[in-house]
Amino acid sequence: MNEGLDNGPAIEARGLVKRYGDQVVAVDGVDLSIPANRIYGLLGPNGAGKTTTISILTTLLEPTAGEAKVLGLDVVKQAGDVRQRVGVTFQEMVLDDELTGRQVLDYHGRLYRMGKTERQAKTEELLALVELEEAAERKAKTYSGGMKRRLELARALMTTPEVLFLDEPTLGLDPQTRARIWDYLRALKEESGMTLLLTTHYMDEAEELADTVGIIDRGKLVAEGTPQALIEEMGADTIHVIGEGDREAFVENVSALPFVQAVDVGRTVIQVGVDLGSKRLVEIIAQATDSAFTIQDITVAKPSLGDVFLKYTGRRLRDTDSTQTHHRMLLMS
Amino acid sequence: MAATATLWNKQMRKFLANPEEMFGLLIQPILWVVLFGVGMKSMLSADMPGSGEPYVTFMLPGIVVLSALGGAIGGGSVWLTERLRGIVKEYLVAPIPRLSILMGNALSTMTKSMFQAIIILFVGLILGAKLSPNPLGWLGGLVLVAGFGLGFSGIALSIASQTDNPGAYHAMIMVFNLPLLFLSNALYPLATMPTWMRIGSLLNPTTYTIDGLRQMMFRDPAALAGSDPLPLWLCWGVVLAFAALGMWLAYTTFRKSIK
């Protein structure tokens, strides 16, 4: 908008580090460059550094090292200007639920020094957008989880932000509500030209929404690309092998096969990317026999973002328990 | 300034929408004056030694201060809840000064203390307390109580910024609350105290608040204090310094807690 940002990235980070004491490194040298009017999905397991990254970008935390800019503004030196122009929703429910839905929006607008007429108009518009008009006069504590999330989204949009940060926007919601929130977010990007950065540990969310996905693990960005490009790297089909015996020999022999496009060795699962899974299954099994490797389980699937994630982090996302995250975050503030 | 007003307004609106809290806040001081005041009065055979005034007049400023202390503890509790529930983060990502966040809380606490003080004085009048005929004195007294409330709010907010445990908060705040109340001239005159206690009381801002109140709000202040009154300028100085110090403490610990 101003300060010559028309062509620069909306969000930019270089060598971002956040350390707590000498031991804990929450973010370990993250670089980001997110163009305007994109949806960027930061994907990672619990404790990977997603929330810390978002906290730095939204000026809640100062980085130990590195620098970050939002809309060309330094998040430490120009924190006040950044705050004025971004919207945030947090991982945990952050609502003063003694207030009615309308009051929540109104007080938020007042904190940003919006005039009364502007606040009222915006409140009506957003209550309609997130379909909370009928509940507007009720205290937020009577809302369902999905309604609270929608109210939080409306609150973040109250000040017409240019960049919207969403930390796990659909955590713990039912599939129907999640789909509805995805629709809102897509519409925001299309209609208002907003830039969105969201964190998630749901593969489907990243795949559905994000133009670009960044996979973050142990404080580092380990992969980045469009969901499609990341999945295509995995090969046309993926064969998942679990077994015991001489793993190294098996991996070596499988890698040597001409039709194998990628082999990724996880702690338990070996992923083999091939051109056509059903056709190559027998040949993979034959390699196991030759390598003194006993297969306990073998499956063929179209690769998903989940496989990409497994490849880069060696972990499956579904190991993580969303309710646990929720409680942990409540205690952390 | 605008942000402080907004947050003050929000706390007050929540207060006015909560009949239980309003009821408790209004009833507590009445119970103190009636139950404690009347009981003590009969024990002390109606009059204070060396004074013609009934004990109710003597202890009324003490109850006002006690209520202010209780209000500040409640304010700290609200702050702790807002921190634990993450509501403070909404304030932190907003383009508002950090101090205004704390001030919004402290000022709403003080406003409630003002309501309480007025009720206490009213009940005291019914029970025979003798107020000063000068309305400026009443106003001055209320401002003095507000300053004291701000100072103790600062201590409460500071403790509530450093712990994540409501039990620990309440245990810690009592360590400050009890000596502030009892090691002072709130309930017994300075003149009748053992020396060590009098020295302790003279180091306590509560003593200066109450002495100032007695001089400005009540009739015949010298007799009321049961001893020579402290200089009024000193009362104001100590209370204002206490207010500033308390808020500074809250501000620095809060800044540290969000690093």
Angle, helices A247-256/A277-290, rounded to nearest 10 degrees: 130
Mean pLDDT lowest among A226-240, B17-31, B79-93, B209-223 = B209-223
Mean pLDDT score of chain B, rounded to an integer? 88
**pLDDT tens, B152-177?**
999 999 999 999 999 999 999 999 99
The answer on A190 and A89 residing in a single domain is yes
Among chain B residues, the shortest Cα distance to A111 is held by B3
Cβ of A60 under 8 Å from any chain B Cβ?
A: yes
Burial class (CB in 10 A: 0-12, 13-18, 19+), B29: buried
In this structure, the answer to whether residues A221 and A99 fall within a common structural domain is yes
Q: Above 80 in pLDDT, residue B120?
A: yes
The answer to whether residues A192 and A70 belong to one domain is: yes
Cα of A316 to nearest chain B Cα, Å: 29
CB contact under 8 A, A92 and B18: no
User: What is the domain count for chain A?
Assistant: 2
Same domain? For A167 and A289 the reply is: no
- Locate the chain B residue with the closest alpha carbon to A92: B86
Does any CB of chain B come closer than 8 Å to the CB of residue A111? yes
Cβ A83–B18 below 8 Å, yes or no? no
DSSP secondary structure string for all residues of A183-213: HHHHHHHHHH--EEEEEES-HHHHHHH-SEE
The residue range of the domain holding A248 is 235-302
> Chain B partners of A98 at a C-beta cutoff of 8 Å?
14, 17-18
In a mutational test of the A interface, the residue from B4, B7, B8, B10 whose CB has the highest number of chain A CBs within 10 Å is B10
Query: What's the pLDDT score for residue B254?
Result: 94
| CA–CA distance, A137 with A132 (Å, rounded to integer) | 10
CA A263 to chain centre: 26
- Angle (nearest 5°) at CA B249 between B84 and B253: 40
Q: Are residues A218 and A101 part of one domain?
A: yes
> What pLDDT does residue A328 have?
37
> Which residues on chain B place their C-beta less than 8 Å from a C-beta of chain A?
2-3, 6-7, 9-10, 13-14, 17-18, 82-96, 164, 258-259
Q: Kindly report the nearest CA distance between residue B86 and chain A, in angstroms.
A: 5
Query: Which pLDDT score is estimated for A316?
Result: 61
Q: Which of A72, A89, A81 is nearest to A198 (CA)?
A: A89
A76 touches chain B (CB under 8 A): no
Best mutation target among B11, B90, B91 (most A Cβ atoms within 10 Å) is B90
State the pLDDT at residue A160: 93
CA distance A165 to chain B (A): 11
Q: How far is B72 from chain A (nearest CA, A)?
A: 20
Nearest residue of A to residue B82, measured between CA atoms = A96
Q: Is the pLDDT confidence value at B94 over 70?
A: yes
Q: Provide the shortest C-alpha distance from residue A55 to chain B (in Å).
A: 9
Q: Does A326 map to a domain?
A: no
**Is residue A310 situated within a structural domain?**
no
For B2, the closest of A59, A96, A113 (CB atoms) is: A113
Confirm whether A314 is domain-assigned: no
Structure token digits, residue A115: 């005039």
Nearest CA in chain B to A64: B259
Out of A311-325, B22-36, B137-151, give the one with best mean pLDDT: B137-151
pLDDT above 80 for B50: no
A51 and A35 share a domain?
yes
User: What per-residue confidence (pLDDT) applies to B221?
Assistant: 55
Looking at residue A321, what is its pLDDT?
38
Establish whether this prediction's ipTM goes over 0.90: no
Chain A residues whose CB is inside 8 A of the B89 CB are 60, 90, 94, 333
Minimal Cα distance from B84: which residue of A? A333
pLDDT of residue B19 exceeding 80, the answer is: yes
* Residues 6+ away with beta carbon under 8 Å from B127: B33, B34, B37, B38, B56
A286: CATH: 3.30.70.920
> Residue B69 in contact with residue B154, Cβ under 8 Å?
no
CB contact (8 A) between residue A96 and residue B6 = no
* A/B interface, count of CB pairs below 8 Å: 73
Closest residue in chain A to residue B91, using alpha carbons only: A111
A256 and A205 in a common domain: no
**In angstroms, what CA-CA distances link A198 with A7, A167, B53, B160?**
22, 6, 69, 31
Looking at beta carbons, which residues of chain A come within 8 Å of B96? 111
Helix (H), strand (E), coil (C) string for A241-301 = EEEEECHHHHHHHHHHCCCEEEEEECCCCEEEEECCHHHHHHHHHHHHHHCCEEEEEEEEE
> Which residue does chain B place closest to A110, by CA atoms?
B6
Task: State whether A83 and A164 are in the same domain.
Answer: yes
Q: Low-confidence residues of chain A, pLDDT below 50?
A: 1-5, 318-333
Distance CA A217, CA A186 (A): 26
Confidence grade of residue B227 (pLDDT, cut at 50, 70, 90): low
- Where do the domains of chain B lie? 32-257
CA of A195 to nearest chain B CA: how many angstroms apart?
Answer: 17
Nearest to A284 by CA among A299, A269, A265: A299
Q: In the listed set A197, A229, A261, which residue is the last one of a domain according to the structure?
A: A229
Examine the domain organization and report whether A218 and A239 are in the same domain.
no
Summarize the confidence of residues B138-143 as an average pLDDT: 92
Whether B89 sits inside 8 A of A62 (CB atoms) is no
pLDDT computed for residue B44 by the predictor: 63
Query: Are residue A64 and residue A95 in the same domain, yes or no?
Result: yes
Length of chain A: 333
Contact B94 A110 (CB under 8 A): no
A99: which chain B residues are within 8 Å (Cβ-Cβ)?
A: 10, 13-14
Kind of pairing between the strands at A293-301 and A73-74 = unpaired
- Do A180 and A135 reside in the same domain of the chain? yes
**What is the pLDDT, as a whole number, of residue B11?**
94
Cβ neighbours, 10 Å, residue A308: 28
Q: What is the pLDDT of residue B225?
A: 52
- If asked whether residues A289 and A182 sit together in one domain, one would say no
Dihedral (CA of B64, B69, B72, B78) sign? negative
Of A207, A229, A251, the domain-final residue: A229
Q: Is A313 within a domain?
A: no
Render B16-35 in DSSP notation, one character per residue: HT-HHHHHHHHHHHHHIIII
Contact A182, A41 (CB under 8 A): no
Query: Nearest CA to CA, how far is A130 from chain B (Å)?
Result: 20
Q: Chain B: give the shortest CA distance to residue A113, in Å.
A: 8
Q: Give A-chain residues touching B84 at CB under 8 angstroms.
A: 330-331, 333
- The CATH number of residue A51's host domain is 3.40.50.300
Per-residue confidence (pLDDT) for residue A2, from 0 to 100: 44
Q: Which residues of B touch A62 (CB under 8 A)?
A: 259
Task: Give yes or no for A96 touching B (CB within 8 A).
Answer: yes
Residue B113 has pLDDT above 70, yes or no: yes
